[in-house]
Amino acid sequence: MSVNSKYQSPLTSRYASEEMAYNFSNDKRFSTWRKLWLNLAQAEKQLGLPDITDAMLEEMRENLTNIDYELVAEEEKRRRHDVMAHVHAFGVVCPQAAPIIHLGATSCFVTDNADLIILRDGLDILCRKLAVVVDSLTRFAVQYKDLPTLGFTHFQPAQLTTVGKRAALWVQELVWDLRNLVRCREDLRFRGVKGTTGTQASFMALFNNDFEKVDQLDQLVTQLSGFDKAYAVTGQTYLRKVDADILNPLASFGATAHKIATDIRLLANLKEIEEPFEKNQIGSSAMAYKRNPMRCERICSLARHLMTLATNALNTASVQWLERTLDDSANRRISLPEAFLTADIVMSVMQNVFDGLVVYPKVIARRIHQELPFMATENVIMAMVKKGGDRQVCHEHIRVLSHQSAHQVKAEGGENDLLDRIRNEPYFAPIHAELDQLVEPSTFIGAAPVQVVRFVENEVKPALEPFAEAIQAKQSVQLQV
């Protein structure tokens, strides 16, 4: 049967980075199992078990990636047990070491510890990628910190902000997501050497009830596997709440990504900001003029999937009976890789979008011109009062002219001509010379530019500092259609 005759996940066949796809591959998983068996044997030898020799360890070390998948499949079909199939296959290529492979361990020694290694490495990948995304969007925010734009509340015209200040709101959520992932990574521990129900009974038997040696074994294997600490207590598995603590911040990032991509889609409709659009890209097979925001639509589509996966981890954690039950396994095989692969893809698309965002200042200025005269009426009234005018009389003049202009916009489909009406009204002659200054957009943006600068200096730069090397090594993202 050919590859194309079988279902393939689009996460790996179409979208995900090679780095993340490899992290959840069979090669990574099962070579990690073998490395764990080597670490266990090495630690057991170091602590005095006499049946383990240097030759056995070297044999295991030389065959970490020499995996006969056909043999594994045959053994698993016969034994109905994936771990024991791999124990057998490892023993075939390591005949000297075969008697001591998996010595004292339960299946979860390799399955759970390998999962934790893969999750750790996945978090490292995501933290680096998200830092690059934050850096890219931050540069955009700083570049446009002074450009006035119409703000929206309820997607209705509100006071002005700046393009950069709006982007800073997006950056802030991403910085929080980075913080959450870093915390998650720092909290992650190793399951360690805990035995079948977490009591270390088999290892106590191996070491003649010498708990100090068993504890040392736990610490040694933990360190050999690249962790500083192991969980102090476990059942047969590490507690599945750990999975929830990982998938929840990933889902939260999904919500951030969806919100940002949706904002850009709305702005694209307004023709103020657009995602990159390649020279030969086709927006529609029928409507040649279209420039669909397909990248941001992809972000939203995948982010929705990412957000739903957190409930899998919560539901699984809630039904783990006593020391463990196996109804977690099939679910986790799907939900954990998919969460990381999906987050990885979303970050890649976001970087591609942020690196190529296109801003149309003239369209933005035109929209400001359509709305700002109404917002500036209070400034006009105050200017008239300073010239000796009566506020109530001025207010009535402005009210009448505003309604006339609103009718012109809404009923006639014309432009906002309130400023022209004010210029043609003799009552406002004392401030005609000041009128352009009174409606200068830059005077309506408050402290937005300063807020962006301070936010970047005080919040963003410290958050990105640990990832300076990853940001420096940044490469452009080329998306598959």
C-alpha span between 259 and 353 (Å, rounded):
14
Three-class secondary structure assignment of the chain = CCHHHCCCCHHHHHHCCHHHHHHCCHHHHHHHHHHHHHHHHHHHHHCCCCCCCHHHHHHHHHCCCCCCHHHHHHHHHHHCCHHHHHHHHHHHHCCCCHHHCCCCCCHHHHHHHHHHHHHHHHHHHHHHHHHHHHHHHHHHHHHCCCCEEEEEECCEEEEEEEHHHHHHHHHHHHHHHHHHHHHHHHHCCECCCCCCCCCCHHHHHHCCCCHHHHHHHHHHHHHHCCCCCECCCCCCCCCCHHHHHHHHHHHHHHHHHHHHHHHHHHHHHCCCEECCCCCCCCCCCCCCCCCCCHHHHHHHHHHHHHHHHHHHHHHHHHCCCCCCCHHHHHHHHHHHHHHHHHHHHHHHHHHHHHHCCEECHHHHHHHHHHHHHHHCHHHHHHHHHHCCCCHHHHHHHHHHHHHHHHHHHHCCCCCCCHHHHHHCCHHHHHHHHHHHHHCCHHHHCCCHHHHHHHHHHHHHHHHHHHHHHHHHCCCCCCCCC
Domain ranges within the chain, ordered by starting residue: 21-103, 108-187+239-280+296-360+455-468, 377-438
CATH of domain 21-103: 1.10.275.10
pLDDT, tens digit, 9 for 90 and up, residues 300-325 = 999 999 999 999 999 999 999 998 88
Over range 234-243, report the average pLDDT.
93
pLDDT, tens digit, 9 for 90 and up, residues 157-178 = 888 999 999 999 999 999 999 9
Give the model's pLDDT for residue 158. Answer: 84
Catalytically annotated residues: 154, 284
Over range 458-475, report the average pLDDT.
95
pTM given for the model? 0.90
% of the chain beyond a pLDDT of 90: 70
pLDDT, tens digit, 9 for 90 and up, residues 372-390 = 888 888 888 888 899 888 9
Tokens of 450: 């300063």
pLDDT, tens digit, 9 for 90 and up, residues 271-300 = 999 998 754 444 544 444 457 889 999 999
**Topology at the third CATH level for domain 108-187+239-280+296-360+455-468:** Fumarase C; Chain A, domain 2 (1.20.200)
Give the model's pLDDT for residue 415. Answer: 84
Give the model's pLDDT for residue 2. Answer: 63
Question: Is pLDDT of 41 > 90?
Answer: yes
Question: Is pLDDT of 436 > 80?
Answer: yes
**Topology at the third CATH level for domain 377-438:** Ribonucleotide Reductase Protein R1; domain 1 (1.10.40)
Tokens of 341: 């692969």
Query: Smallest Cα–Cα separation from 105: which of 179, 54, 12, 36?
Result: 36
Rounded to a whole number of angstroms, the CA Rg of the chain reads 31
C-alpha span between 10 and 7 (Å, rounded):
9
Q: Residue 34 — pLDDT band, cuts 50, 70, 90?
A: very high
Question: Is pLDDT of 239 > 90?
Answer: yes
Over range 191-218, report the average pLDDT.
93
Query: Smallest Cα–Cα separation from 40: which of 200, 236, 162?
Result: 200
Give the model's pLDDT for residue 1. Answer: 57
**Neighbouring residues of 331: CB distance < 8 A, sequence distance ≥ 6:** 312, 316
Give the model's pLDDT for residue 250. Answer: 98
Q: Residue 151 — pLDDT band, cuts 50, 70, 90?
A: very high
Question: Is pLDDT of 435 > 90?
Answer: no
- Between 279 and 200, where is the model more confident? 200
